[in-house]
A and B are shown apart, each in its own frame.
Chain A
Amino acid sequence: MASLDDLKKRIASVKSTQKITKAMKMVAAAKLRRAQESAEKGRPYSEKMNNVILNLSNGISDKENAPKLLSGTGQEKTHLCVVMTSDRGLCGGFNSNIIKKAKSYFGKILDEGKELKIITVGSKGNDQLKRVYGDKIIENISFKESKNANYFDADKVGKMVIEKFEAEEFDVCTIFYNQFKNVITQIPQAQQIIPLNNEGEEKGSEESYEFEPDEDEILSNLLPKNISTQIFKAMLENSASEQGSRMSAMDNATRNAGEMVDKLTIEYNRSRQAAITKELIEIISGAESL
């Protein structure tokens, strides 16, 4: 059995770990509130953007000559996957969940004999993917310097994706991120952004619009912006999810540390009592033998 001194040291060490996890939880909670707020504030923009594009693509007369970003290149040979993760660890299953989702998608693509290219955003994703898919990663971006998700960063990623698309480096682009549902639930998402996946197309209004200049020109101007917007939305959702995930992970860690301290304290008290009893027995039996 561990000596009293050892137990004391262990209790002290667990307690200081608990203090750290508690502090991290508090910080995450404060950050989460901000991240959640900006995620909510960012929603109108992407929703409106989607609406406008829906209305436009409904109004487009010549589907054949529609911009490639909307209709695709006509083939599905090369897939580009943008995997968005965090730059920092200690956030529970946040990064692993995205990676798991992405890996199962990668497996499917490779099984079908298609080509795969990966862009990782955030260093944690790169760390986890480079062991297996190292040769497929063509770009690794991380925004360690920027504190909060901002549109400027998203635009950089978006422009890069579009550049590669125009250079015909890929046919289909999918982004992977965690959608924030609540503090305990984040859902890993795979969202196809090129060609634009128009699910629920019927929702667009039937009212006809006047376009100035014509639909094609507006669309070709709008679609690149939409890519950046979608990536920005993913970044916002991701940062809210990261903080939420970290908060619940740290909450668990704090609770576990508390349980451990309780257990160790009981053990410490027991051994202390045992030592006292032992000493007493020794004294009494010594007195008796006289």
Chain B
Amino acid sequence: MSEEFKVEIVNPEKSFLVKDDVSEVVVPAFEGEMGILKDHISIISFLKPGIIKILSKSGDENYYVEDGIVEFKNNNLSILTSTIFNLADMDKSKQQDLLKQAEEEANKTDINDQSKYLADQKVEVLKTLN
């Protein structure tokens, strides 16, 4: 029996990525990183800024996301996100831009704790990339 399952990443504009030979996906869930293997229990969770790692036979891929929802059901993993970038396509200047934006947001004082936490996360993740 194969140990592969299907993953689908959708953003509002289009279906971003569909892969059906995935062996493991690591998502930055809100309460910590979560690795998903085949036959995982059905789960719904949402994402914080971080890196999605997709491990498959045809090679590993890394994506940077800022938010989103994951749903896993019947060996189908759907990830809905509004902001996603493939790390392989992302150059330094783009990363710097995002980092600058995130830092600006994190330094705002008039935001609530949750957005502050998310902005801090963004900064942290982006810094590790650089």
A interface residues, Cβ below 8 angstroms from B: 38, 41-42, 44-46, 48-49, 51-52, 55-56, 150-151, 154-155, 205, 207-213, 218, 221-222, 225, 228-229, 232
Given A38-B13, A48-B10, do A209 and B80 touch, yes or no (CB 8 Å)?
no
Give the size range of B's interface with the partner: 20 to 34
A45 touches B46 (CB 8 A): no
Residue of B13, B30, B80 near A49 (CB, 8 A) is B80
Given A38-B13, A44-B10, A150-B13, do A212 and B31 touch, yes or no (CB 8 Å)?
yes
Which of A38, A45, A48, A232 counts the most B-chain CB atoms under 10 A from its CB? A45
Interface residues of B in 61-95 (CB under 8 A from A): 67, 69, 71, 73, 78, 80, 82
The 9 listed contacts between A and B (C-beta, < 8 Å) are A44-B10, A45-B10, A52-B69, A150-B13, A151-B13, A151-B82, A210-B43, A212-B44, A222-B69
Nearest residue (CB) in A for B41 is A210
A208 touches B42 (CB 8 A): yes
Answer yes or no: B12 CB below 8 A from chain A CBs. Answer: yes
Chain B residues in 8 Å Cβ range of A210? 41-44
Answer yes or no: B123 CB below 8 A from chain A CBs. Answer: no
Question: What distance in Å separates the Cβ of A145 from its nearest Cβ neighbour in chain B?
Answer: 18
A42 touches B44 (CB 8 A): no
Chain B residues in 8 Å Cβ range of A45? 10-12, 80
Given A209-B42, A222-B46, do A48 and B13 touch, yes or no (CB 8 Å)?
no
B interface residues, Cβ below 8 angstroms from A: 8, 10-15, 29-31, 34, 41-46, 67, 69, 71, 73, 78, 80, 82
Distance in angstroms between the alpha carbons of A161 and B9 in the assembled complex? 27
Chain A residues in 8 Å Cβ range of B73? 205, 207, 209
